[in-house]
Structure 1
Amino acid sequence: MTEKTTILLAEDEPALGQIIKESLETRNFNVLLCEDGEVAFKTYKETEPKLLVLDVMMPKKDGFTLAKEIRKENDEIPIIFLTAKSQTKDVVEGFTIGGNDYLKKPFSMEELIVRINNLLQRTQLQKTTEIIKIGEYTFDFRRQLLQFKNEKEIQLTHREAHLLFHLYKNRNEVLDRSIILTKLWGNDDFFSARSMDVFITKLRKKLSQDSSIQILNVRGFGYKLVC
């Protein structure tokens, strides 16, 4: 029998939490349901979940605070935020503190399950990918590190590393904007597109020491990594 993947779910609405738990369990996940951020952090410390689904607005400790504390100990575990918030700054804050994806309430269970599976697959890919050469840079995807020649290593965020990896896989070809948004952000709405533009700008800066490398914006289509 295939071993079940353990997911930690922090949701303070009992009815919604139970619906999510039962739905995920029908897909062969083992779900640890916690009613607030403090219980969730204690449960995280005592178990070994493979993915976290965190409600943003929770009593005692909100989802963003919980994610910050967990990221101090583990920068690899995938985190999905559940939120009723839709302001751009809230979405960006979630990504900035280490979130990998977010879902705005109300959402469909099928969408949540697809995003969970995508994140778990990407995490597995990250563990198996070898070191990549991009121009004069060495890109260690697994450790999320970028290094120019023999200079100091640059730490990338989880999303920066995955974005660069997908650009590299499609190097010298146009990477469709909607495809990369769907793969890494879960959808191609306005908030996700704005967030991706910010990450592209950050990657350009971090790759700027090698003038032969460019990330081109192909208007109306997407981006192209030239190297």
Structure 2
Amino acid sequence: MQAIRPAGHEGASRKYDLLTALAAHALAGDQHRQRMVLRLMALITARYNWQRDELAVGQAEIARLWAVDERTVKRDMARLRSLGWITVKRQGARGRVSVLGLGLDRILLDTRPEWANVGPDLVARLGGAPEPAEPGDSPTVVPFRRAGGGEGAAGAVWAAARALLSAEDRGAYEAWFAPLADAGVEDGQLLLLAPSRFHASYVQAHLQQRLVTAARRCDPSLAGVRLRAE
């Protein structure tokens, strides 16, 4: 997938592509999903700072924009955070509102099934094809052994999360997520074992948010995901 770049000569079109992808995703969903996405789009267009990836708006202001009460704002913002569409960059304190960001990669992953509803031009611009390797990455994917799904409640969570990760990006799943083994829950976090230190470091650096989002969608009580090397 292409990253949404706010700068450069294609910056403006990339912003419209993101909003278009969100709109197509909403239109393919039920009324609850449509309302939530519309509210997020209103926040993006009215208050999101693309250059700094910052959304610093108080609940009262959001409630006024959405024409709802603050209780509804708390509920929908919590849902957007659980989806990984909104991230907390800096927690509010001493009268200051929290500084939020957009989980752009997560939004693109979740809206990808609806890109074709807009047309092949959007699919091509946003990169429906598998991602190329980053500069410096080895072009060869080492075929690590496949890990088992684990047993018990934690194993069921990891099995469900693996299914989500496989469905959204098969290439990344086969190369990086499939070799991870469930090792239970520790201090409220799902513990996964990687086949090497390099493998654990790469996932933590490049794919950790995808991993946490998938796990928390399967079990919202999880505080996060921690990796260890075998």
Q: Which structure is higher in RCO with an 8 Å CA cutoff and minimum separation 6?
A: 2
Normalised TM-score (structure 2) = 0.28
Structure with a larger share of its residues in strand? 1
Structure with a larger share of its residues in helix? 2
